[in-house]
Amino acid sequence: MNLLLYLFLLIVSGSAFPKYYNKQSTQQSCGYSNCPSADPNVLNVHIVPHTHDDVGWLKTVDQYYYGARNYIQKAGVQYILDSVIEALLENPKRRFIYVETAFLWKWWQENSAENRDKLKYLVNNGQLEIVGGGWSMNDEAASHYQSIIDQFTWGFRKLEDTLGKCACPKIGWQIDPFGHSRETASLFSQFGFDGLFFARLDYRDRLSRLHNKTAEMLWQGSQSLGPSSQLFTSILYNHYSAPPGFCFDVLCSDDSIVENQNSPEYNAERKARAFLSFVKQQASYYKTNNIIITMGDDFHYQDALYYFKNLDKLISAVNKLQTKTKVFYSSPSCYIKALNEANQRWSVKTDDFFPYASDAHAYWTGYYTSRPTSKRFERIGNNFLQVSKQLAALTGLEDSVAGLDPLREAMGVMQHHDAITGTEKQHVADDYARIISEALDSASVGTTAALRKLQEIPEVNMHSCLLMNISQCYWTDDDFGNLMSITVYNPLSRPVSHYVRIPLQNPQENYFIDAEYQIVPIFERILNIPGRTSKARAELVFKAESIPALGFKTYSLKSSRSRPSFSNKDVELQFYNSGHLKSALLGGQEVPLSQNFLYYRSANGNNVIASNRSSGAYVFRPQKQYASNVTRNVKTVKYIGPLVEEYHQTFNDWIGQVIRKYKDEDYVEFQWIVGPIPVEDEIGKEIITRFTSDIKSKGVFFTDSNGREMIKRVRGHRDTFNLTHEEPVSENYYPVTSKILIKDESTGMKMAVLNDRAQGGSSLHDGQIELMVHRRLLNDDWFGVAEALNEKAFGVGLVATGKHYVIAGNSQNTGGKSIVAKEKELAQKISLEPWVFFNSRVDNLFDYRVKNSVRINFSGVSQSLPSNVQILTLEPWSNNVLLLRLEHFYEKDEDPLLSSSVTVNIKQLFTDFDIIQVEEMSLGGNQFISEVDKLKWKAECDELDENTVAVNNVTNNAFEIQLSPMQIKTFLITIDRYI
């Protein structure tokens, strides 16, 4: 009978949608006004149904979305979205939240207009709320702030383009990353978020905060930015899972709720009272009469009706008990609104939540370094994304714009907390590499088109060489005849000089290039890297001088009959008889500096109890609390020339290094080559490089937060809880995204080490800095990936190579450029390195340039920016509209001159177009700054406001942009191109 009635209604109405669903409705009832009313006189229990959908982990992105390879994990995101939509349409009281735009976008592309309308309807009426909204739920230790901003910007853009304004997120939802950075709080606040939720923090910190009722707080993301970086933060009580016994997903085994009292399985009242017991216990640890209960977990709601039907029954059963408890469907934003209306004062946090320890022997500090080559590939991807976006914006070519999306999306995927972290299965890591590689190819088509236009040259191709770290380039490997064209593009906002290295087959041949050059042999360890196929045996090094900002210089390299003669540069590095570095001449001062490689033997346990924890993809746990030297003596061979002095060092048969000191540079470069790490002794090993100075650092060191502000670290100490010392090495490891430093407060002497990818690092002894460069393990740590971190390539253990840059000087010197300024400029050059394009096999190109006045120099900006400001983002947005971000990249009181506010006129900032309209946006580019209306919170004391600086700088001229220290301003600019 019910089936006949259903069919009758379907025939009459033409639809099986619920009566309240109006397909044509455009009415929007999302936002705080649509929140359920909390009762101030009872305990309000906010039920938040959710799913946590990893953008790759045990399965690849596509395997997770389509539900492939379920023998690995039963998970199919498309079924979750389909099922949730139908379950929400069935009952208007039900609510759900969703996070990952990467999966939403896949669903949107593959679904019908009718299904899309259903989703839009649910977003517009507030039943389905988007939280987070980035392309993925990003990691907070290894991700660079530029990539975090980009992946949220692209997620926000897709949400607005498809689902409209009601899809604009108001809440950060970082429930699974393995520790949380202060910069995240700052960025999220500038996105316009009203709150942040997360689950993972040190187990002792969690217990202390619950005991003191400080699990909810105001997090001050930046001492420089003041209130604009303040973010209300809530730590979830039960991880992000349902309470024990109340997981109603098909993946769980908890009993369903039976309301029929005549059934022998009746359990509704018993389940309701058990639930009440749990929520009352939770409420005892929080300050208000509102608590949030997450109902969901990894890839839950593939059969949403099953879950929701039980939640309906649970809510009804609890509310029938009339125990001064009100249970209702809600959302994180509605919960935040209720807390805000409670008018409480909240404690203030000013540091971060690193490192994360889940027990006394499980410090999640290994993933700071895990899969070092993947971490470097991600950084290369960001470098090229910025180059590609800038060139597309400067030229406006459709070909240049079209190739950006795959790279934007690939970089969004790579920020995921199981991607850049290196905590995924090996086949997933391989797929991530495929995604980046294909995206780079796509964007390369656009960069070639843009450079053709800017250089005004015929149909030639510009090629990138992604294997220059092993001195391999297809375009220079064969005999390139009489001519090679080399275009060096600078994505930074100031002119920079850059040493270009070109692999050569014939180092004995003579060459001509319009720059001073030097030929240096390629290090033997690099020549023998497994998988290297290049015939090159030497590199030609030349200095590309003063490459224009957002611009390029083009050089021609050709064979020559005569070799020019150069004098050698002065020697600036000194070595011990053992072959180890002894000192370096930096900034005109000889600095005691030694360096060595060591390794920790990895703990190998059965993981059954905490004290038997193994070192794994997530956890770094050494067997002993000291590192062993790899050798006492180092074979060192030196090569001195006019541009660079190089020292090729062989430590053993699996560790080598090249130390370089370039002419007129204030840093020493260390290129390390590590692997295959031997494991024949069945012991995993974790390799570190350690730099030793005579700096009296007194147990203090500093690490960067996602590549921006520095955070003070005190060895063996935490500000907010008492630290026990079961693991004295790993407890002092912190994420180093771009820089770690030590300094002597009495003399002002400081030393910084900058890296080319995220790594774990520490200062375990005064005057020392160590960074972990590579890991090869034989055991899993039992935190989910179920696979040992034993990377292989070409049939042997993985060989990794990378670079560190050491800079030192006195911070108290008042003359010339400060040591802080030198560090800042070097960090920018490492993060956004000038990109080298090659064009060989075009023998007539040189003659063409002579005859046709080809551009060999170009700058995208027509005026110099202040020394403390950079163009963080320049990218196409829509027809004649670009997205522009300007960043003041100095902290408050960091530099005597450059830590001051500054004004920039952008009206005619760019060379090839005029700016005719400026609209300031939130950091994510999805809200006009005038429309951002954040909730206001009260701190327990006035310290938050007294020690910070307001940054709502406004000038009367829309083209006059005022920036305070650490401030990023985002604009949509309408342009008029000159050509």
- In angstroms, the CA 10 to CA 435 distance is 44
Of residues 652, 727, 18, 30, the one with CA closest to residue 337 = 30
pLDDT band at 852 (very low <50, low <70, confident <90, very high): low
What pLDDT sits at residue 561?
56
What pLDDT sits at residue 955?
58
- In angstroms, the CA 266 to CA 967 distance is 59
Q: What three-state secondary structure class fits 300? A: coil
pLDDT value at 13 more than 50 = no
Is residue 6 exposed (0-12), middle (13-18) or buried (19+ Cβ within 10 Å)?
Answer: exposed
* DSSP string for 97-162: EE--HHHHHHHHHHS-HHHHHHHHHHHHTTSEEE-S-SSS-B-SSS--HHHHHHHHHHHHHHHHHH
Are residues 503 and 476 in contact, defined by beta-carbon separation less than 8 angstroms? Answer: yes
Strand order in the sheet with 496-504: 496-504, 538-547, 517-521
Q: Which of 54, 176, 202, 781 does the annotation list as catalytic?
A: 176
Of residues 358, 784, 423, the one with CA closest to residue 618 = 423
Residue 948's φ and ψ, nearest 5 degrees, are: -125, 170
Please provide the average confidence, as pLDDT, over all residues in the chain.
93
171-187 pLDDT, tens digit per residue, is: 999 999 999 999 999 99
pLDDT value at 570 more than 90 = no
Place of tokens 């105001």: 218
- In angstroms, the CA 185 to CA 230 distance is 7
- In angstroms, the CA 882 to CA 872 distance is 13
What pLDDT sits at residue 971?
98
What pLDDT sits at residue 86?
98
Is residue 571 exposed (0-12), middle (13-18) or buried (19+ Cβ within 10 Å)?
Answer: exposed
Structure tokens at 345: 């004062």
pLDDT band at 479 (very low <50, low <70, confident <90, very high): low
Q: Of the ranges 484-498, 812-826, 861-875, which one carries the lowest mean pLDDT score?
A: 812-826
What pLDDT sits at residue 845?
53
- In angstroms, the CA 378 to CA 374 distance is 6
482-539 pLDDT, tens digit per residue, is: 568 899 999 999 999 999 999 998 877 777 888 899 999 999 999 999 999 999 999 9
Is residue 109 exposed (0-12), middle (13-18) or buried (19+ Cβ within 10 Å)?
Answer: exposed
pLDDT band at 201 (very low <50, low <70, confident <90, very high): very high
725-746 pLDDT, tens digit per residue, is: 999 999 999 999 999 999 999 9
Whole-Å CA distances, 778 to 424, 669, 733, 759, 781: 15, 32, 21, 20, 10
Residue 593's φ and ψ, nearest 5 degrees, are: -155, 120
- In angstroms, the CA 104 to CA 176 distance is 19
Are residues 710 and 739 in contact, defined by beta-carbon separation less than 8 angstroms? Answer: yes
- In angstroms, the CA 529 to CA 167 distance is 49
What pLDDT sits at residue 947?
45
591: which strand partners? 584
Q: What three-state secondary structure class fits 398? A: helix
Query: How many other CB atoms are found less than 10 A from the CB of residue 567?
Result: 7
Of residues 508, 503, 455, the one with CA closest to residue 477 = 503
pLDDT value at 540 more than 50 = yes
What pLDDT sits at residue 853?
56
666 is catalytic: no
- In angstroms, the CA 615 to CA 607 distance is 10
Q: What is the mean pLDDT of residues 798-814?
A: 92
pLDDT value at 8 more than 50 = no
pLDDT band at 790 (very low <50, low <70, confident <90, very high): very high
Question: What one-character DSSP code corresponds to residue 854?
Answer: -
Residue 244's φ and ψ, nearest 5 degrees, are: -55, 130
- In angstroms, the CA 313 to CA 336 distance is 25
pLDDT value at 711 more than 60 = yes
* DSSP string for 762-778: E--STTEEEEEEEEE-S
pLDDT band at 4 (very low <50, low <70, confident <90, very high): very low
Of residues 763, 587, 791, the one with CA closest to residue 685 = 791
Structure tokens at 738: 């771009």
Q: What three-state secondary structure class fits 599? A: strand
- In angstroms, the CA 966 to CA 899 distance is 9
875-897 pLDDT, tens digit per residue, is: 999 999 999 999 999 999 999 99
What pLDDT sits at residue 228?
84
What pLDDT sits at residue 563?
59
748-775 pLDDT, tens digit per residue, is: 999 999 999 999 999 999 999 999 999 9
Q: What is the mean pLDDT of residues 106-125?
A: 98
Place of tokens 């109902």: 295
What pLDDT sits at residue 482?
57
pLDDT value at 828 more than 70 = yes
Are residues 275 and 246 in contact, defined by beta-carbon separation less than 8 angstroms? Answer: yes
- Distance of alpha carbon 272 from the chain centroid: 42
420-432 pLDDT, tens digit per residue, is: 999 999 999 999 9
Helix (H) or strand (E) holding 377: helix 372-395
Are residues 190 and 923 in contact, defined by beta-carbon separation less than 8 angstroms? Answer: yes
347-372 pLDDT, tens digit per residue, is: 999 999 999 999 999 999 999 999 99
pLDDT value at 11 more than 90 = no
Q: What three-state secondary structure class fits 886? A: strand
- In angstroms, the CA 291 to CA 98 distance is 20
What pLDDT sits at residue 15?
44
CA dihedral 155, 158, 159, 163 (to 10 degrees): -170
Kindly give the interhelix angle for 182-190 and 145-163, rounded to the nearest 10 degrees. Answer: 30
292-349 pLDDT, tens digit per residue, is: 999 999 999 999 999 999 999 999 999 999 889 999 999 999 999 999 999 999 999 9
923-960 pLDDT, tens digit per residue, is: 999 999 999 999 999 999 865 544 444 445 545 678 99
pLDDT value at 6 more than 50 = no
Radius of gyration of the chain (CA): 29
The pLDDT > 70 percentage for the chain reads 92
* DSSP E strand stretches across 433-577: 484-490, 496-504, 511-512, 517-521, 538-547, 551-559, 573-575
pLDDT value at 31 more than 70 = yes
Structure tokens at 907: 């009206």
DSSP-derived pairing of the beta strands 230-235 and 195-198: parallel
Q: What is the mean pLDDT of residues 462-477?
A: 92
